Amino acid sequence: MKALLFFISLFFIHSALARGVYQTPESFLDNSFAGKPPKSSTVWLSKENKRVISDILQHSPRFIRVKYWQQGTKSVWILHEVGKEKLITVGVVIENSSIKRLKVLAFRESRGWEVKHEFFTRQFSGLTITPQHTLDQHIDGISGATLSVRALKKIARISLYLEQQL
C-alpha cells in the first residue's frame, strides 16, 4: 500500500512541477534580439484576419490585436492558446518568413507538458505556411499531449500568417 501511495504521489508531484513559467517573455525577447529588443508594434485584426485566425483556431480569437517585435527580417511573436483548459504561452521567432525558433514560455495544464522539450519544438524550425494557412511540413505528435500539440501548431500557423500581413 505504501508503495502505491509513493508512486501516486510521484505522479502528482511530477505533474505539478511540469507546470510553470520556463522563461519570461522579456527574457525570450532579450535572447531573440541579442539583448537589444526593438520596441513592440501592434497588428490590429481586420475582418479577414479574424476569419483566417478563427479558421486556424477553430474558435473565435480572444484578442483583437497582437503585439510583435521586429528588426530587419526577424519578427518575434508571443501568443497564448488553450491546450485543454488553460493557456499555454509560446514565443515564436520568424526570420525570412520561416520559423527560426518556437519555445513554450509558460505551461499551465496538468497534462501535455512534454511539448516544452526541445525534441518536440525543434520540429517547427524552418517551417513556413502554405497558401491554405497550414504548416508546410508534418509535426509529429506526442501521445497523451494531443491538445497541447494542437495548441502549438495553431500558434505557429497564426504567427506565420500574421508575419505575412506585415
What pLDDT digit, counting tens, does each position of 76-122 carry?
A: 999 999 999 999 999 999 999 999 999 999 999 989 999 999 999 99
- pLDDT class of 20 with cuts at 50, 70, 90: confident
DSSP secondary structure of the chain: -HHHHHHHHHHHHHHHHHSEESS-HHHHHHHHTTT-PPPEEEEEPPHHHHHHHHHHHTS--S-SEEEEEEETTEEEEEEEEESSSSEEEEEEEEETTEEEEEEEEEE--SS-GGGGSHHHHGGGTT--B-TTSSBSS-----TT-HHHHHHHHHHHHHHHHHHHH-
What pLDDT digit, counting tens, does each position of 29-65 carry?
A: 999 999 999 999 999 999 999 999 999 999 999 999 9
